[in-house]
Amino acid sequence: MSRVVVFGATSAIAAEVCALHAQRGDRLFLVGRNAEKLSALARRCGGGPVTTRQHDFGQLETNEALVADVIAHFGTVDTVLIAHGDLGDQLESERSFAHAEEILRTNFLSVVSLLIPLANHMEHVRAGRIGVITSVAGDRGRPRNYTYGAAKGALNVYLQGLRTRLYAAGVHVTTLKLGPVDSPMTVGHEKNVLFGKPESVAQSILHAIDDGTAEAYVPAVWGAIMPVVKNTPERLFQKLGFLSGR
């Protein structure tokens, strides 16, 4: 029975991951902003021990204490999934620094504020697995979401360094580069065949963390698409509307 903590547990994808852990009988500590959704998720995952905590990750100064409470509850944390995030409004982030800062705080700074105490704990006990959901948007800046993409790109680099730092301690760090998923987060987006489904995405996330995969594109098809997107010369990229358009 593993001791598992999920930050941002009430997102559609994370909730499916939580359900999979519950089926295994793992002990769960679920953290999210919405108390009603947390209660519903706890009932869904009621096959094993479940603890919930309502928390706003944007309050950066409180995140270290939150991690300390999780560690005190479990003694040792075996597996972590950090799943919270928000696309924000790209156009608004171009007009308002306050909104741009909110996107960066939610998608990068708040994650780092959780990772620092978690990594120190796992490095000390010399065991553990950390999975962090980022995005294919972090692989290349595109006009439609470059503020969000910049936050995820910075997170990708941070995780690369953290993964190498923790390697000697036997701690695995998995970067989960998600393509678009058919979920409430993308409710206003036109859907196509490249959109993943929360259930299958959750299965892929769980397998990647279990296997200690360094970087995983989810769904896997993005592992073939993104090298082309990343390596297209900028002058050509700017002329291709399906890549550079809003």
Query: Are the C-beta atoms of residues 48 and 2 closer than 8 Å to each other?
Result: no
Q: Which residue has the tokens 């547990």?
A: 9
pLDDT range class, residue 184, cuts 50, 70, 90 = low
CATH number of the domain bearing residue 78: 3.40.50.720
Cross-strand pairs, 174: 131
Query: Are the C-beta atoms of residues 43 and 21 closer than 8 Å to each other?
Result: no
Region 71-86: mean pLDDT is: 97
Region 219-239: mean pLDDT is: 94
Q: What is the pLDDT of residues 106-159, one digit of tens each?
A: 999 999 999 999 999 999 999 999 999 999 999 999 999 999 999 999 999 999
Look over the chain and give the mean of its residue pLDDT values, rounded to a whole number. 94
Pairing of strands 27-32, 215-218: unpaired
Which residues span the domain enclosing 51?
3-244
- What separation in angstroms does the CA of 28 have from each of 50, 59, 78, 114? 5, 23, 11, 17
Query: Are the C-beta atoms of residues 149 and 177 closer than 8 Å to each other?
Result: no
218/210 Cα distance (integer angstroms): 15
Query: Are the C-beta atoms of residues 131 and 155 closer than 8 Å to each other?
Result: no
3/233 Cα distance (integer angstroms): 45
- What separation in angstroms does the CA of 76 have from each of 128, 146, 197? 9, 37, 32
pTM of the model: 0.93
Query: Are the C-beta atoms of residues 79 and 131 closer than 8 Å to each other?
Result: yes
Q: How many domains does the chain have?
A: 1
Q: Which residue has the tokens 């296997």?
A: 211
Residue 18 has pLDDT above 60, yes or no: yes
Report the range of poorest mean pLDDT among 38-52, 84-98, 207-221. Answer: 38-52
CB atoms within 10 A of CB 146: 16
Query: Are the C-beta atoms of residues 133 and 205 closer than 8 Å to each other?
Result: yes
Count the residues in the chain. 246
Q: Read off the tokens for 12.
A: 């559609």
